[in-house]
Chains A and B, each alone.
Chain A
Amino acid sequence: MKKSFSKNTDINKGLKDGLPIGLGYFSVSFAFGLSTVTAGFAVWQALIISMTNLTSAGQLAGVTLMAALASFTEIALAQLVINIRYSLMSISLSQKLDSSFTTTDRFFLSAFITDEIFAVASSYPSISRKYMRALAVLPYFGWTLGTLAGAVLGEILPADLVSSLGIAIYGMFIAIIIPPAKKSKAVLGVVLTAATLSSIIYYTPLSKYISPGFSIIICAIAAASLFAVLFPVKDKEECENE
């Protein structure tokens, strides 16, 4: 836990904390912009998706589903399942907001709760509106500009190279899941179960009846429920992994 800080330095502190997140987001959204244009979207479409969603896994799933002209129900359900973790972060953060937070602030700033912004903000015992606003600025611009740069480059680069870049976002997903799976057998089990179920659906006639979006939803809920029953998370473990 870091110390509480005075109101005057809240803006500086927020910007400073937001800078590394913004830089990281630039590279991640760069890959998103690139793969989105590769999937047949226009630059402005990639950009507007990033500006209105600010979430990596959800956006990729959304683009994949849109490219397949999935139903709006599927898109809504996929977003719900993939992004429901933000609800937990919102609940957690909502308990640390200081009295400077108005209801309007809550409506506005909740849009900027991401894994990283949550992680940084929740390291403080109390959070002011000034800090939260300043913290959100650079990640948001990093996310937007990275998408733009990636999308523009995706239209310029030769097809061979662009084709190989389609794997980039999956590379990042692997980079996110492998390290915790090394440390926790339960996480490894969740990953293997979800991957196995997803492969079973993909390679059997089940794929005729289950669309890619619903496949993700079914596999994820099944794997997470199974391990939540078999290996319930203890508080301590959860904190260590935040």
Chain B
Amino acid sequence: MNDLKYFLTALFVMACITYFVRMLPFVIFRKKIKNNFLKSFFYYIPYAVLAAMTIPAILYSTSDIASAAAGLVVALLLAFFERSLLTVAVGACLAAFLVQIIF
């Protein structure tokens, strides 16, 4: 990232938003959210965000689709058997790396 002015501005925007979503409720709110829609929405949103960020971007996260697809399959399998975050991540990398070397 060579554009320093852009980087620092973007960094400032990111850090401020991230801080404010944590700070404002911590300083202001004292009551629990009762609205069922909002509660459900907030409960589901992390999964929705992660899924939208992962699919299909994961397929383009390495130098070629074949290795990324191998990594995706291995990650899904390891996650299905509830391995730790690190194990799943390393497994996906290894699968992608092996496919890159072999083909």
Chain A contact residues, CB within 8 Å of chain B: 24, 27-28, 31, 40-42, 45, 48-49, 52-55, 57-62, 64-67, 69, 72, 75-76, 79-95, 103, 106-107, 109-111, 113, 160-161, 163-182, 186-187, 190-195, 197-199, 202-203, 212, 215-216, 219-221, 223-225, 227-229, 231-233, 238, 241
Contacts and interface: CB of A to CB of B under 8 A. Distances in A.
Given A91-B29, A113-B22, A169-B89, A224 B10 contact: no
A28 B48 CA distance: 20
Nearest to A118: B22
Interface string B33-66: 1001111111111111111111111100111000
A141 to B, nearest CB: 18
A45 B10 contact: no
Interface residues of B, number: 77
A89 to B, nearest CB: 8
Contacts of A86: 18, 21-22
A173 to B, nearest CB: 4
Contact of B44 (A60, A91, A164, A187): A187
A164 B19 contact: no
Nearest to A35: B61
3 smallest A-B Cβ distances: which pairs?
A171-B92, A178-B79, A228-B40
A163 B100 contact: yes
10 contacts: A27-B89, A66-B10, A69-B6, A90-B25, A164-B100, A167-B62, A170-B92, A190-B48, A192-B51, A223-B51
A191 B47 contact: yes
Given A42-B1, A175-B84, A224 B52 contact: no
Given A57-B50, A80-B17, A164-B97, A182 B44 contact: no
Contacts of A45: 1, 7, 11
Contacts of A172: 85-86, 88-89
A92 to B, nearest CB: 7
A82 B49 contact: yes
B53 A88 contact: no
A203 B78 CA distance: 27
A174 B44 contact: no
